[in-house]
Amino acid sequence: MRIVVIGGTGHIGSYLTPMLVEAGHSVTCIARGSREPYREHPAWRSISYCRIDRTAEEAAGNFGRRVAELDAEAVIDLTCYYPERAKQLVDALRGKVGHFLHCGTIWVHGSSSTVPTTEDEPRRPFGDYGIRKAAIEAWLIEQARTTGFPVTVLHPGHLVGPGWNPVNPAGNFNPEVFAALIRGDEVRLPNFGMETLNHVHAEDVAQTFLRAVELRSAALGESFHVVAAKALTLRGYAEQMAEHFGRSAELRFLAWDEWKSGVPERDARVTEDHLRHSPNCSIAKARKLLGYEPQYASIEAVKEAVEWMIAHGVLAAGH
Ligand SMILES: NC(=O)c1ccc[n+]([C@@H]2O[C@H](COP(=O)([O-])OP(=O)(O)OC[C@H]3O[C@@H](n4cnc5c(N)ncnc54)[C@H](OP(=O)(O)O)[C@@H]3O)[C@@H](O)[C@H]2O)c1
């Protein structure tokens, strides 16, 4: 199949783009070319690159036409964050593409209600990003139902992979939390450490996009969560990471306001966003309709990323 991947060199694309080539598809990757993929793979040599600045082309009203001109059978859009930009692209692809796959986020759910959260829960997003992504999803699914536009939406959890910092047991990206666990130092967690995180290895997101492409009729008009099989509590996450470093976790639990006042303002903001969402999403639908089976448990995905951080000097190794 001729497949266009928009944003095919980022966290997800670094796995997905070579995976599509290995599966026998002919792949064109749209990106500005400002970065290297996170992983090397011989398949990168078989990919066509289309150097486009999406933002500039959208502003000029040309982006949809430029993608349509590539004459793809399937288009995978990994980098759409605004409803009007999804609309511009979809309007240009109507009648021209056999399958359009949009990368969403589990943030469309807002705060968890009954867990594990299923895809059919009413959306209660908060925060700009979640609200916009939920609006894109709602519009795309409505297009599938009312006009037959062939769309699938995949909602990943917190992306993890070697090459970037994963969300840590305090719910932010500060590597010092892993460093403290490596040293066996005390780690302070907010509340009772029972709020949840829902990671997923980028390779598992990639395999789900591939499955959705290849099981098109099961995927059409549907949204799917793509996360690890089980969410982690902050506490359980910290304990399992400490164990990985041969330590027992020295945890101290602080009421939210006290915890927040002891960390940099940016970390507090990121943690608050993760805690208020406390995602815990079900993968039953992706398992049933797409045969999705995660290769990585959350903790195994994070261990791989943290080992990469140690190997690349982002974190000091234990002793
Ligand atoms: N990060 C998470 O934990 C997370 C969680 C859930 C859902 N998501 C969803 O995942 C998607 C993002 O995927 P990702 O994390 O794999 O992306 P990413 O790592 O941010 O990669 C972005 C890709 O888009 C390209 N790009 C960026 N700006 C561009 C522009 N102006 N024009 C053309 N290409 C551009 C980049 O290459 P160049 O820089 O070379 O252009 C790169 O290939 C989003 O839909 C997001 O909502 C992310």
- The pLDDT tens digits of the residues spanning 165-195 come to 999 999 999 999 999 999 999 999 999 999 9
In a domain, 288, yes or no: no
The sign of the CA dihedral 27, 30, 32, 34 is: negative
- How many Å apart are CA 67 and CA 283, to the nearest integer? 31
CB 218 within 8 A of CB 155: no
Average pLDDT estimate for 216-223? 98
pLDDT computed for residue 317 by the predictor: 78
Probe target for ligand 1 pocket from 6, 78, 109, with the most ligand atoms within 8 Å of CB: 78
Whether the predicted pLDDT of 319 surpasses 60: no
Mean pLDDT over residues 48-74, rounded? 97
Quick one: 131 and 262 in the same domain?
A: no
Q: Give domain status of residue 191, yes or no.
A: yes
Residue 150 and residue 15 share a domain: yes
218 alpha carbon – ligand 1 mean position (Å) = 26
State whether 98 and 177 are in the same domain: no
| Both structure tokens of 319 | 């002793």
Same domain, 87 and 46: yes
CA 130 to chain CA centroid, Å, is 13
CATH number of the domain that 39 lies in? 3.40.50.720
Q: Is residue 287 part of a domain?
A: no
The residue whose CA is least distant from atom 1 of ligand 1 is 159
> Does residue 217 sit within a domain?
yes
Q: 245 and 152 share a domain?
A: no
pLDDT value of residue 49:
97
Of the pLDDT bands very low, low, confident and very high (cuts 50, 70, 90), residue 104 is very high
In a domain, 316, yes or no: no
Closest by CA position to 298, among listed 241, 245, 218, 217:
241
Residues with CB under 6 A from ligand 1: 7-13, 30-35, 52-55, 78-79, 103, 105, 133, 156, 158-159
Q: How confident is the model at residue 316, as a pLDDT?
A: 87
Element (H, E) at 77: strand 74-77
To the nearest 10 degrees (0 to 180), the angle between helices 234-244 and 298-311 is 50
Residue nearest to atom 21 of ligand 1 (CA): 10
Does 176 lie in the same domain as 104?
A: no
User: Are the beta carbons of 188 and 259 closer than 8 angstroms?
Assistant: yes
Report how far ligand 1's centroid is from the alpha carbon of 204 (Å). Answer: 16
Q: Name the burial class of residue 186, with classes exposed (0-12), middle (13-18) and buried (19+) by CB atoms within 10 angstroms of its CB.
A: exposed
> Looking at ligand 1, which atom is closest to the CA of residue 56?
31
Question: What domain count does the chain have?
Answer: 2
Contact (Cβ atoms closer than 8 angstroms) between residue 167 and residue 199: yes
Q: Per-residue pLDDT averaged across 233-244, rounded?
A: 98
How many whole angstroms separate alpha carbon 127 and alpha carbon 50?
33
In this structure, the residue with its CA closest to atom 35 of ligand 1 is 31
From 4, 57, 79, 133, mutation site for ligand 1 pocket: most ligand atoms within 8 A of C-beta? 79
Full domain range(s) for residue 212: 2-159+199-226
276: left (phi over 0), alpha (psi -120 to 50) or beta: alpha
Query: Of the candidates 210, 226, 242, which is a domain's last residue?
Result: 226
Structure tokens at 109: 């759910």
Q: How far apart are CA 23 and CA 254, in angstroms?
A: 49
Average of pLDDT values for 55-69? 97
Cut 0.95: pTM above it: yes
Would the pLDDT of 73 be above 90? yes
Look at residue 239 in the predicted model and tell me its pLDDT: 98
H helix count then E strand count, the chain: 13, 13
* Average pLDDT for the chain: 97
pLDDT in tens, 6-53: 999 999 999 999 999 999 999 999 999 999 999 999 999 999 999 999
Q: Are residues 83 and 179 in the same domain?
A: no
**Is residue 318 in some structural domain?**
no
Are 15 and 89 in a shared domain?
yes
| Each residue's pLDDT tens digit, 253-302 | 999 999 999 999 999 999 999 999 999 999 999 999 999 999 999 999 99
**22 domain residue, yes or no:** yes
Same structural domain, 177 and 204: no
CA of 78 to the centre of ligand 1 (A): 6
Same domain, yes or no: 80 and 104: yes
**What average pLDDT does range 109-130 have in this prediction?**
97
Task: Please report whether residue 317 resides in a domain.
Answer: no
**Ligand 1 nearest-atom number relative to CA 102:** 45
pLDDT of residue 61 exceeding 70: yes
> Is there a single domain that holds both residue 132 and residue 191?
no
209 shares its domain with 192: no
**Index of the ligand 1 atom closest to the CA of residue 37:** 43
Which CATH number fits the domain that encloses residue 182? 3.90.25
